[in-house]
Amino acid sequence: MTKVSFAASAPSSAKKVTIGAAAKMRVETARADGEKFYKYLQAKKLDTVALDMGGMAPDVAAEFADGLLRASYTFNKYKTMSQKEGPQDVTITTSAPQAAETAFAPLRSTTESSFWASDLVNEPANVLNPATYADRVKAELEPLGITVRVIEADEMEKLGMGAALAVGQGSVTPPRMVVLEYDGTQGAEKQPLALVGKGITFDSGGISIKPSTNMGNMTMDMGGSAAVAGAMRALASRGAKAHVVGVLALAENMPGRHATRPGDIVKSLSGKTVFIGNTDAEGRLVLADAIAYVQQKYNPHTVVDLATLTGAAAAALGDEFAAAFTNDKGLMSQFNEAAAVSGERVWQMPLTESKVAAAAVRNTPHADLTNNSGAPGALTAAAFLREFIEKNKNGSDKRKFMHLDIAGPGMPKTELKGWGVFLLDTLVSKFYEQKAAANQNAPKPVRKHKGPKL
């Protein structure tokens, strides 16, 4: 990660570079310009650089700096040979360095939180398993004022999390449920926003084993949980005045001698029973218990889950968009706006409109639901998860619900960055954060990226 700072004059040791078009740069495009300029510096093989931005406005300089920082991410932890991926130290000289630094601070905290989440996504499964993942999250987030509770397998069993436990039965490392609570409202907001993340640290498919081709990428099947953990870090780092609870549903899906079999029936925390039609449809099982738990324990007004869930979503939308399924038009509008600002984009798919999907997940003779209801996979997976949203007496959903299938952008073919931290942080900033004037740490609005209308 490149060190980016502001100063009134350039350090004597730095290579001085003047950006001639700096005065014409706009806040709407500054971050993208910063990302492009980082690549220029990288191509020039410059190490310590001072960029003369002259009288550039502080908010523009902050966005430009954030672009430089975002472009600098690499994961070379396990490379033993010396690596110089790009400039190591960039000083931006401007006439108002303190104001620029103040504007940059919340952007920096979110970008660094995204990098931390990306590191989690890129760790190999022999390093990051449910136990070590939980330990790493606790060590990182507790010092920031986030309450971290790790529910281990024996307690999960006592609580009745039979669906999540079934996924990890074949692994030598039992599942974990990690619960994160951040309340920047000091108790003023009683009902939190709930974020739930799928955290399968390695997905072999279990007994329904995957083909060997590209199975090595299944270390990234915990991208949804990394996004939730990273977003919680970002909120706490910048002192967001919001009440948010995150749940990381962690398990390793392996074909061991104790592994769950196709045909097994398990009882979830909600009380609903599930027929295991395919052990490779495991993500929806861990999410089912996590979604039930956060509702029972915290009574959130809204439940959002993120999961690298189905190849069908990736096939439909590629790496560029996450598939968004929701029961609330207003919530969809919020996500569209947050996606446009953050650059992490979503595309709405049907959920409440499909009676076929809802019927398909209930189409099993010996249990309440099945985890393998057939095509269309992304839609039936979303319908399955909706079954675990608590209901009113009239059968309607008790809470707003958003399911993001991030199989495309969360497991990209070309980049190694985690996905979702910027989206979630922007969502909270714009719609779930107290807007009192005293909130000096709230991030400044960032530009809307040009692109297709969402």
Handedness of CA 52, 105, 114, 431 (dihedral sign): negative
Q: Which two tokens stand for residue 21?
A: 């078009």
Closest CA to 204 of 165, 237, 171: 171
Task: Report pLDDT digits (tens) over 416-451.
Answer: 788 999 999 999 999 999 874 344 444 444 444 433
Indicate the domain borders of the chain.
3-95, 112-431
Cα angle 433, 437, 441 (rounded to 5 degrees) comes to 60
User: What per-residue confidence (pLDDT) applies to 214?
Assistant: 85
Among 22-31, 64-73, 119-128, 174-183, the least confident range:
22-31
- Strands 48-52 and 89-93, sheet pairing: parallel
Whether residue 192 has a cis bond before it, omega within 30° of 0: no
Closest CA to 109 of 449, 343, 444, 406: 444
pLDDT at 253 over 80: yes
Tell me if 230 sits within 8 A of 144, measured CB to CB.
no
Higher pLDDT: 86 or 314? It is: 314
Angle formed by the axes of helices 223-237 and 421-431, nearest 10°: 50
What's the rounded Cα separation, in Å, for the pair 216 and 138?
27
Burial class (CB in 10 A: 0-12, 13-18, 19+), 256: middle
Among 161-175, 245-259, 369-383, the least confident range:
369-383
Higher pLDDT: 55 or 453? It is: 55
Q: Tell me which architecture the domain covering 112-431 has in CATH.
A: 3-Layer(aba) Sandwich (3.40)
Options 15, 138, 210, 398, the catalytic residue: 210
Task: Report pLDDT digits (tens) over 398-410.
Answer: 999 999 999 999 9
Q: Average pLDDT in the 36-59 region?
A: 87
Q: Average pLDDT in the 96-117 region?
A: 96
Residue 386 is among the residues annotated as catalytic for this protein: no
Options 70, 241, 284, 345, the catalytic residue: 284
CB under 8 Å to 126, separation ≥6 — which residues?
Answer: none
Q: Residues, the chain, total?
A: 454
Higher pLDDT: 368 or 13? It is: 368
Provide φ and ψ at 57, rounded to 5°: -60, 145
Provide φ and ψ at 119, rounded to 5°: -60, -40
User: What per-residue confidence (pLDDT) applies to 83?
Assistant: 66
What CATH number is given for 3-95 in this structure?
3.40.220.10
Give the whole-number percent of the chain exceeding pLDDT 70: 94
Assign 84 a pLDDT band (cuts: 50, 70, 90). Answer: low
Residue with structure tokens 């399924």?
A: 325
Give the whole-number percent of the chain exceeding pLDDT 90: 78
User: CA dist 43 to 37, 40, 79, 272, Å?
Assistant: 10, 5, 21, 57
Give this prediction's pTM: 0.93
What's the rounded Cα separation, in Å, for the pair 175 and 196?
15
In SS3 terms, the chain reads as: CCEEEEECCCCCCCEEEECCCHHHCCHHHHHHHHHHHHHHHHHCCCCEEEEECCCCCHHHHHHHHHHHHHHCCCCCCCCCCCCCCCCCEEEEECCCHHHHHHHHHHHHHHHHHHHHHHHHHHCCCCCCCHHHHHHHHHHHHHHHCCEEEEECHHHHHHHCCHHHHHHCCCCCCCCEEEEEEEECCCCCCCCCEEEEEEEEEEECCCCCCCCCCCHHHHHHCCHHHHHHHHHHHHHHHCCCCCEEEEEEEEEEECCCCCCCCCCCEEECCCCCEEECCCCCCCHHHHHHHHHHHHHHHHCCCEEEEEECCCHHHHHHHCCCEEEEEECCHHHHHHHHHHHHHHCCEEEECCCCCCHHHHHHHCCCCCCCEECCCCCCHHHHHHHHHHCCCCECCCCCECCEEEEEECCCCCCCCCCCCCCCHHHHHHHHHHHCCCCCCCCCCCCCCCCCCCCCCC
Higher pLDDT: 252 or 17? It is: 252
Tell me if 148 sits within 8 A of 180, measured CB to CB.
yes
User: What per-residue confidence (pLDDT) applies to 167?
Assistant: 98
Average per-residue pLDDT for the chain: 92
Task: Report pLDDT digits (tens) over 152-208.
Answer: 999 999 999 999 999 999 999 999 999 999 999 999 999 999 999 999 999 999 999
Residue 210 is among the residues annotated as catalytic for this protein: yes
